[in-house]
Homo-oligomer: A and B are copies of this chain.
Amino acid sequence: MTDACALPAWDPRVARSRAVVLAACAELLSEVGFGGVTIEAVAARSGVAKTTIYRQWPSRAELMIDAFRTMATPSVAPDTGDVACDLEQMMLTLARDLVNEPWSRAIPSLADAAARDPELARLHAQFSRECRTPVVEVVVRAQNRGELDPDVAPDVVCAALAGPLFFRHMVSHEPIDAAFVSALLASVLNGIRAPRPAPEPRT
């Protein structure tokens, strides 16, 4: 996936400077966002000469992309046998990352940048698809087990579960805690209609 792993026999000096630069770039991404990262700042932070950075990456965008790849950590789909457990586990992981991980602070700026740069948009789309995959997997499995309504599209479930977490992270800035995750998951799994009454024929 990452170039750092794929290239066959790299000069150790190159490998070192690349790693240092990418780490510094990832730090800066979290701190000042996508648009605020400059090559000179990366050079200053990493201790690597600006010229060396330009020797390794042809443009600022390429460096950003590589740095974001460095931050991106793929997740795995749990399989406890109970869809509620699986989904809650994934949502709690996402919630924890959104609250604690420094790279989560770079998400809005990435979304912004991706809205304008086609290359970044491509990377962003690919990355977000990779992140959604485990959720879709869990949902499909639960549908096959008969736990979930097979008529509901997995992508909708994914948006219904992950969307509110991102919403609080980026838009409303309300707390993202276990209680919220539980309430949200219960709402989506069971619905929010009043359980008691309702001889109401729906139209």
- Residues of chain A touching chain B, judged by Cβ–Cβ distance below 8 Å, are 32-36, 105, 107-109, 111-112, 115-116, 121, 124-125, 128-129, 132, 143, 146-150, 152-153, 155-160, 162-168, 170-174, 180, 183-184, 186-197, 202-203
- Some 21 contacts from A to B, beta carbons below 8 A apart, are A33-B35, A35-B112, A108-B108, A108-B115, A111-B170, A111-B171, A128-B172, A128-B173, A147-B194, A149-B193, A152-B187, A152-B192, A156-B187, A159-B174, A163-B163, A166-B170, A170-B170, A187-B188, A187-B191, A188-B188, A190-B193
Residue of B nearest to A175 (CB): B155
How many angstroms from the CA of A158 to the CA of B116 in the assembled complex?
29
**B112:A33 contact, CB within 8 angstroms:** yes
Which chain B positions have C-beta within 8 A of A189? Answer: 191-193
B170–A156 touching, CB < 8 Å: no
Contact of B187 with A192 in the complex, beta carbons under 8 Å: no
- Which chain B positions have C-beta within 8 A of A146? 194, 196-197
Contact A35 B32 (CB under 8 A): no
Q: Assess A33 versus B116: contact at CB under 8 Å? Given A166-B163, A167-B159, A168-B159.
A: yes
Residues of B within 8 A of A129 (CB): 172
Q: Is there contact, CB below 8 Å, between B160 and A164?
A: yes
A180 touches B156 (CB 8 A): yes
Chain B residues within 8 Å of A157, by CB = 187, 192
Kindly identify which residue among B124, B156, B170, B194 contacts A149, using a CB–CB cutoff of 8 Å: B194
- Chain B residues with CB under 8 Å of A165's CB are 163
Cα A180 to Cα B148 with chains together (Å): 18
